[in-house]
A and B are shown apart, each in its own frame.
Chain A
Amino acid sequence: SQKIEQNSEALNIQEGKTATLTCNYTNYSPAYLQWYRQDPGRGPVFLLLIRENEKEKRKERLKVTFDTTLKQSLFHITASQPADSATYLCALAKVRDTGRRALTFGSGTRLQVQP
């Protein structure tokens, strides 16, 4: 069956360090992968989308990599700040050839940046 795993439930780092979050998937052939941020009691906020033919994508202090051979995406936040503390979700659209757009979410990694 299709599965998405974010292998750290929680990650604590010091301010100024780089946070690296991992998303692994099995039994998918996604055309793209997305990362969202979710604060407690709020809706997911879109951060970045990376396509299967892209190895890396950057936006300000955020960087995402996508390795379709390893079936893995890494999400990096450089120069982390306490305001980056949140849960980060990876999400895949379902198998590309179906044209279906329902997102399947991982369980998220809760990032805590200590001042």
Chain B
Amino acid sequence: EPEVTQTPSHQVTQMGQEVILRCVPISNHLYFYWYRQILGQKVEFLVSFYNNEISEKSEIFDDQFSVERPDGSNFTLKIRSTKLEDSAMYFCASSFSASFGTDTQYFGPGTRLTVL
């Protein structure tokens, strides 16, 4: 069964450094998402992406964050200058469409980001 994959599984970085988290969505999916989950808290939406542009973003997704689909398979989340509070599990998700009933989002296994 097709899956969303994410690399790396764990990333440790120093505060102020840039990180890029990578995702390979399910191959025929057209809508891509990033969520994060701080330890012990809810899963929170960051951004959605379709047709090479951001379609929606949350208040969390400020100028320090950016997303890109650099080729036909990868979808990346970049944090320009990491802060301690960016430490969290980051999940990529994808869906086939945005039409009600066919827009179930399938999640990857996550990247645990630790900012020291």
B contact face: mostly helix, strand, loop, or mixed? strand
A43 with B104: CB separation less than 8 A = no
Enumerate chain B interface residues (CB-CB to A < 8 A).
4, 31, 33, 35, 41-45, 48, 55-56, 58, 89, 91, 93, 95, 98, 100-101, 103-110, 112
Inter-chain contacts of B109 with A (CB < 8 A): 42-43
Inter-chain contacts of A49 with B (CB < 8 A): 101, 104
A89 with B104: CB separation less than 8 A = no
Closest to B112 in A: A41
B42 with A46: CB separation less than 8 A = no
B110's contact among A36, A43, A99, by CB below 8 Å, is which?
Answer: A43
A44 with B98: CB separation less than 8 A = no
Inter-chain contacts of B108 with A (CB < 8 A): 43
Q: How far is the CB of A107 from chain B (nearest CB, A)?
A: 5
Q: CA of A61 to CA of B33 in the docked complex: distance in angstroms?
A: 30
Inter-chain contacts of B41 with A (CB < 8 A): 107
Q: A43-B91, A43-B110 are in contact. Are A103 and B105 (CB under 8 A)?
A: yes
Q: Does A100 contact B (CB under 8 A)?
A: yes
Enumerate chain A interface residues (CB-CB to B < 8 A).
31-32, 34, 36, 38, 41-46, 49, 51, 89, 91, 93, 96, 99-108
A101 with B56: CB separation less than 8 A = yes
Inter-chain contacts of A45 with B (CB < 8 A): 107
Q: CA of A77 to CA of B98 in the docked complex: distance in angstroms?
A: 29
Q: A51-B101, A101-B95, A102-B33 are in contact. Are A46 and B106 (CB under 8 A)?
A: yes
Q: A43-B110, A44-B91 are in contact. Are A101 and B42 (CB under 8 A)?
A: no
A42 with B58: CB separation less than 8 A = no
Q: A31-B100, A42-B110, A46-B106 are in contact. Are A101 and B43 (CB under 8 A)?
A: no
